[in-house]
Amino acid sequence: MVEDVTRTVRTPCLCHALRKASRAVSRLYDDELRTVGLRTTQFSLLAYLHRTGEVRQGDLGELMSLEETTVTRNVRPLVSGGWVSVRVGIDRREKWVTITEAGIAKLKEALPAWVRAQRKMKAVLPEQVWQNLLAVLPDVAQAAVQG
Amino acid sequence: MVEDVTRTVRTPCLCHALRKASRAVSRLYDDELRTVGLRTTQFSLLAYLHRTGEVRQGDLGELMSLEETTVTRNVRPLVSGGWVSVRVGIDRREKWVTITEAGIAKLKEALPAWVRAQRKMKAVLPEQVWQNLLAVLPDVAQAAVQG
DNA sequence: ATCTAATCCCTGTATATACATGTTTCATGG
DNA sequence: CCATGAAACATGTATATACAGGGATTAGAT
């Protein structure tokens, strides 16, 4: 019976593999970003908002595979920092999110830290693996949403 | 200046890619595991403890790329559920963690849910991608810890 | 114009995660 | 044997994440 469980579970769990790698890599990026007082999630949000311009809060979640309710909360520290501003839409149910000038400055300030982290990871992974991951991971996220 | 930031950030961020995929995949696994009242993290811990037998709490963290302080807290709901027990070591600073009989039963109960999730993901990913991820992700975690 | 259902977001609650710091216990040099 | 530092874990605090359920607003049918 015990052996039964063991045998089945021996197949590696994709979810666990992803989460474990996520934790380890996040710590490395956070180590660098800490020097400018940002976390990787916050950096990603700023970078994303900078690219897209003003976005509806719900769409932000969809595009980052984040629950709406999580977006609400993730945006909060950014608003507190003055890096992001939120306004009510014409449709007053909607919230529209924008990066502020201060946010753009912060993003610029954080860029070298992010580059260092990115370089570190690139340096310790075979080029093939690096390229492959960047190509494949978005599809994995997509597939899981469909799933 | 704005273009400057945009250009640099256009390179995909490995950390963001991993976290995004993690979230999406975790939701899929959690959807299944919810039917038996477990989360993917809890399932992974149980599965791990089942494989290894009694472990020192600190080692558990190391092997799962979890901070010690996070292990302390992740173990809590499992102890509350009666699926895991903790005892003080001969060296009284140490905590030794074991899966209980109830924990093994729970793991067995959860197995079909996990298999469903696993199959779902396998079904929506090319075989090559699936194999490659399972092979590569542990190395990524390892590399990040070294990094 | 009104009623109903859908949309969009928020709050409550719980887990997950990590860092800074604190506490207890052990090991080790003197 | 004692002092000091290291080891192992816990707590305080903050963010990240998600589900269940709730409130406000709008769209659509009648």
- What digits encode the pLDDT tens for the residues A50-109? 999 999 999 999 999 999 999 999 999 999 999 999 999 999 999 999 999 999 999 999
Confidence at A10, pLDDT banded by 50, 70, 90: low
Q: Evaluate if residue B139 carries a pLDDT over 60.
A: yes
- DSSP strand pairing (B55-56 vs A95-99): unpaired
Q: What mean pLDDT do residues A127-139 have? A: 97
> Nearest 10 degrees: CA dihedral of B10, B14, B16, B22?
150
Structure tokens at B97: 């963690």
Of all protein residues, which has its CA closest to the C1' atom of D20? A69
Residue count of chain B, please give it: 147
The pLDDT value given to residue A116: 97
Q: Hey, is A56 helix, strand or coil?
A: strand
d(CA B147, CA B133): 20
Q: Judge: A26–B15 Cβ closer than 8 Å, yes or no.
A: yes
Q: Judge: A17–B139 Cβ closer than 8 Å, yes or no.
A: no
Q: CA geometry: angle at B122 spanning B117 and B126, to 5°?
A: 155
Report the top-level CATH class of A15-146. mainly alpha
Residue holding tokens 């400057």? Answer: B4
**CA Rg value for chain A:** 18
Q: Which of residues 117-146 of B touch strand D (CB under 7 A)?
A: none
Given the candidates 1.10.10.10, 3.30.420.40, 2.60.40.10, 1.10.510.10, the CATH classification of the domain at B38-146 is: 1.10.10.10
